Amino acid sequence: MEAASISHNNFEQCIKCTICTVYCPVLKVNPAFPGPKHGGPDHERLRLKNPEFYDEALKYCLNCKRCEVACPSNVKIGDIIQSARIKHQKKPGKIRDFLLAHTDFMGTMATSFAPLINPVLGLGISKAALDGVLSIDRHRAFPKYTGQKFETWMKKQAETQSRYPEQVSYFHGCYVNYNNPQLGKDLVKIFNALGIGVQMLKNEKCCGVPLISNGYIGKAQKNGKSNLKAIRESVMDKNIPIVASSSSCTFTLRDEYPHLLDIDNTEVREHIEYATRYIYRLFSNPDRIKKLKFTDRKLNVVYHVPCHMKKMGWEIYTIELLKLIPNIKLTTFDSNCCGIAGTYGFKKENYKASQEIGKPLFDMIERSGADYVVSDCETCKWQIDMSTSQTCHHPLSFLAQILTN
């Protein structure tokens, strides 16, 4: 598959200021990684002349886009690196990468045997086997699989949901479907409390994040085209907007589809929203917010901004939404990447760097004495749950927990 045209990736705009190198979390801990400036715009000039200049060490890029957020010249550094990986890196061959990439396949298999799979995955002997045979690091804790998929529960709600006069279509993502249906139920509860019904998208597929990062670009494109068809039907034919509860799914549907997968989503992009953004706008209507009653308990809440929320610039909606809740003392961490980056931190060769990258965040959480740790991304949650004494909550699950009506 050909990568997205390099002309989209504006490497000529680099003014060599090196600011991106200060913000790259990998460069701080892994000397083998060339970094955003060298691996991005600098090497792109060389790669265009001769693909042999491609450096396999670009596989260490987390695709966090922190470099892009920092760049004063708006160079799409992360996109340049990912496009180079798509175009030049060795084809995926490892069984491990196949299993980590195909979340739909793994989720469908695992949910059927969840009561058996969950305890087995937690055993020391299973972790040692995964480490030794597949190079999935033994320290990593797998999220538990659910016995009933979110989609199964949602199908039973279809009639009730259709009675609401206003509707949204929900892109639930693999994590909600196979691991944490409660998050999807929390979203439905909040939207219903605001007088809005929730529909599923037709035939939703994995958004493509793990497929892209593990090199399965053809499959990611196939999923992307199928998702776009369903999104178009909802937005264009039914005039129903899309909301998602995963920051990385939202970012991928909006930005990685056109930038990395050559999927043109121009007609619908502005109608694909992250849930807290959508709800924040609803909360600005006093008639809506007065329908909701929250706990009187005073709560100390800390918020970690996931990388893809930072890239979208949408952390402001989660922050301002949480600030609207009475009795909450909110602290937003000045944190960088948590280090896990989806499936990246599961790989044995990345585990040490992943934990070193996340260490400043783990320390902030431990020092905070927070009642609740909140973050929008499921894999940030896995990293925080595994590496600190706290449990990380999605903002919607947090809201659903403190809602008293």
Residues that bind ligand SF4 (CB under 6 A): 14-20, 23-24, 26, 36-37, 40-41, 61-67, 70-71, 73, 75, 77-78, 81
Q: Strand ranges (DSSP E) for 260-384?
A: 272-274, 299-304, 328-332, 372-375
Kindly state the smallest distance separating residue 41's Cβ from ligand SF4, in Å. Answer: 5
> Residue with structure tokens 């809440």?
301
Kindly state the smallest distance separating residue 140's Cβ from ligand SF4, in Å. Answer: 19
When the beta carbons of 43 and 271 are compared against ligand SF4, the nearer one is 43
Phi, psi of 364 (to 5 degrees): -60, -40
> Whole-angstrom Cα distance, residue 132 to residue 339?
22
Contact criterion met (CB below 8 Å) for 4 and 73 = no
Kindly state the smallest distance separating residue 42's Cβ from ligand SF4, in Å. Answer: 8
Helices (H), 163-216: 173-174, 181-193, 209-213
Report CA Rg, the chain.
21
* Structure token pair of residue 58: 């670009």
Kindly state the smallest distance separating residue 27's Cβ from ligand SF4, in Å. Answer: 6
* Structure token pair of residue 228: 């776009």
Coil, strand or helix at 330: strand
Residues whose CB falls within 8 Å of the CB of residue 298, separated by 6 or more in sequence, listed in order: 327, 328, 329
When the beta carbons of 185 and 310 are compared against ligand SF4, the nearer one is 310
When the beta carbons of 40 and 215 are compared against ligand SF4, the nearer one is 40
When the beta carbons of 42 and 320 are compared against ligand SF4, the nearer one is 42
When the beta carbons of 62 and 319 are compared against ligand SF4, the nearer one is 62
> Whole-angstrom Cα distance, residue 32 to residue 29?
9
When the beta carbons of 66 and 259 are compared against ligand SF4, the nearer one is 66
Contact criterion met (CB below 8 Å) for 126 and 117 = no
Kindly state the smallest distance separating residue 24's Cβ from ligand SF4, in Å. Answer: 3
When the beta carbons of 82 and 179 are compared against ligand SF4, the nearer one is 82
Kindly state the smallest distance separating residue 74's Cβ from ligand SF4, in Å. Answer: 8
When the beta carbons of 28 and 269 are compared against ligand SF4, the nearer one is 28
Contact criterion met (CB below 8 Å) for 20 and 73 = no
Kindly state the smallest distance separating residue 80's Cβ from ligand SF4, in Å. Answer: 9
CA angle 365, 358, 56 (to 5 degrees): 170
b/e burial code for range 172-207 (CB count within 10 A of at least 16 → b): bbbbbbbbbbbbbbbbbbbbebbebbbbbbeebbbb
> Whole-angstrom Cα distance, residue 220 to residue 226?
10
Q: Is 242 exposed, middle or buried (0-12, 13-18, 19+ CB in 10 A)?
A: buried
Kindly state the smallest distance separating residue 344's Cβ from ligand SF4, in Å. Answer: 9
User: Nearest CA to 78 among 217, 250, 306, 256?
Assistant: 256
When the beta carbons of 79 and 376 are compared against ligand SF4, the nearer one is 79
Kindly state the smallest distance separating residue 97's Cβ from ligand SF4, in Å. Answer: 18
- In Å, how far are 1, 84, 179 from 51, measured between CA atoms? 15, 9, 40
Kindly state the smallest distance separating residue 138's Cβ from ligand SF4, in Å. Answer: 24
When the beta carbons of 70 and 282 are compared against ligand SF4, the nearer one is 70
